[in-house]
Structure 1
Amino acid sequence: MRTLLHMPFDPPSRMVRLVLAEKGLAARLVESPPWKDDPSLAAANPARSIPVLLDAPPTGGEIAVSPALAIAEYLEEAYPVSPLLPATSAGRAEVRRLVWWFEMKFEREVNAVLSRQRIDARLAGRLQYDRAAWLAGCEAMRWHLDYVSWLLENRAWLVGEKMTLADLAAAAHLSVNDYIGAVPWAEFPLVKDWYQSIKCRPAFRPLLAERVEGLPAPSHYADLDF
């Protein structure tokens, strides 16, 4: 049985869980807070970051894979069923560009001052709230959503006519911010429709059932027809 070291509201962890579910691959989920001194996390990944996938691939042996994009690409190669990367090199390059966009740029400009300030800080027992940073994060969120809207004006999905890893990455990052009510869906109807189509997939439902103690989700969060 493969194991995923993760945190429920960590966007890269959510992306990997979506990839596993879309491919029909079961995994034991083990919460591994990076802010705790967890020997098992350090042994699996000396960088002490999540997610980390522990797997026994079809070729034999046991491996530990991280970070999230490496896990996703590993799963694509080891388990090619239900592929999430396009067949063309240009398409794969575009997927990787957009995954990087959310894993790095969106993480730095939005998550760091919105979802991680509200969710991760609470889970770690810290109180963090910087109003100026929060407002800057909300403005950055709108800029990113405007860019996603532009992508969707001429594409059914972020990279073309089929759902790819880029869609799962973007939806994973948006979902944790949606939990704290930080996504202005009404201002971006194209993005809302796209997100709803992913949110309705069976792979997404376990994510929508998770909660942070003491931090309730908005009423629309788990609503598939929001």
Structure 2
Amino acid sequence: MNVLYHYPLSPFSRKVRLCLGEKRIEVKLVEERYWEKDAELMRRNPAGKVPILKLESKVLTESTAICEYLEDAYPQPPLMPRSADDKYEVRRLISWFDDKFYHEVTTKLVGERVFRKVMGTGYPDSSNVKAGAKAIKYHLDYMAWLLEKRRWLAGNSMTLADFAAASHLSCLDYISDVDWNRSEVVKDWYAKIKSRPAFRSILADQIPGFPVPPQYANLDF
């Protein structure tokens, strides 16, 4: 059986889940409290991170490497373009969201509002929350700028770049930290990707102690 060790509000786990769902690869989801770094987790991935994908006889780690492996091993439907220039743009945007957006927004909002409580590391740092709330406006505006010229973030076809962005934004949407009224084009983009069958398991996620907001699973939000 294929198994994905994940955490529901990990954007990196969500990116892999979207890729698996789009390629119709069935997996068993196993929730992993990765910050506890138990022996089994460290054996599967000495880096102590999720996601970890057990695929047949292989154990795969690092979300972008997993997604690119799946793209090579299961090329249909394609989630990467064919030309070198277009592949570069997808990889650039994946790095933008998994590095810059993650550190400037996700860790400061989801990290403070959810993970501090879940991990038992104290109360939210209000300065971090304020910084994250300010930074997300810049990122939404950048997305709007891209989407005014393209159907999808990296071009005219849906790619792993869209999954990277949607994974972070869906985590933030779980805690109602995305102003969808800021940009109609970004809202329309998210509505398109949110309505895909691959997104269904993500919209069913529930974190104990954090009620699901009304707009989170609503396709007509």
- TM-score bracket for the superposition, by shorter chain length: over 0.9
Taking the aligned partners of 2:32 and 2:206, their CA distance within structure 1 comes to 16
Please tell me whether the aligned partners of residues 8 and 207 of structure 2 are also in contact (alpha carbons under 8 angstroms). no
Question: Which range moved further: 117-126 or 18-27?
Answer: 117-126
Partner residue, 1:59: none
Pairing of 1:70-109 with structure 2 (within 5 A): 70-109=65-104
How far apart, CA to CA, are the structure 2 residues paired with 1:78 and 1:119? 35
**Could you give the per-residue CA deviations for residues 32-64 of structure 1, whole angstroms, max 9, x where no partner exists?**
1121132221111111111111112xxxxx222
- TM-score of the pair, normalised by structure 1: 0.95
Identify which of 202, 212, 223 aligns with 2:218. 223
Please give the residue correspondences for 1:109-188 in structure 2 after superposition, counting only pairs within 5 Å. 109-188=104-183
Tell me, in whole angstroms, the C-alpha distance in 2 between the residues paired with 1:214 and 1:54: 29
Normalising by structure 2, we get a TM-score of 0.97
Match of 1:17 in 2: 17
2:57 counterpart of 1:43 = no
Give the root-mean-square deviation of aligned CA atoms: 1.1
Helix, strand or coil at the partner of 2:157: coil
CA contact (8 A) 1:181 1:217 kept: no
Aligned residue pair count: 221
TM-fit CA distance, 1:205: 1.3
| Partner in structure 2 of residue 7 of structure 1 | 7
Aligned mates of 2:20, 2:93 — CA distance in 1: 19
Distance 2:23 2:207 in 1: 27
Tell me the equivalent position of 1:191: 186
Which 4+ stretches in 1 moved above 4 angstroms? none
* SS of match in other structure, 1:185: coil
Q: Structure 2 regions of 5+ residues with no counterpart?
A: none
Residues 98-122 of structure 1: CA distance to partner in whole angstroms, max 9, x if unpaired? 1111111111000111012122222
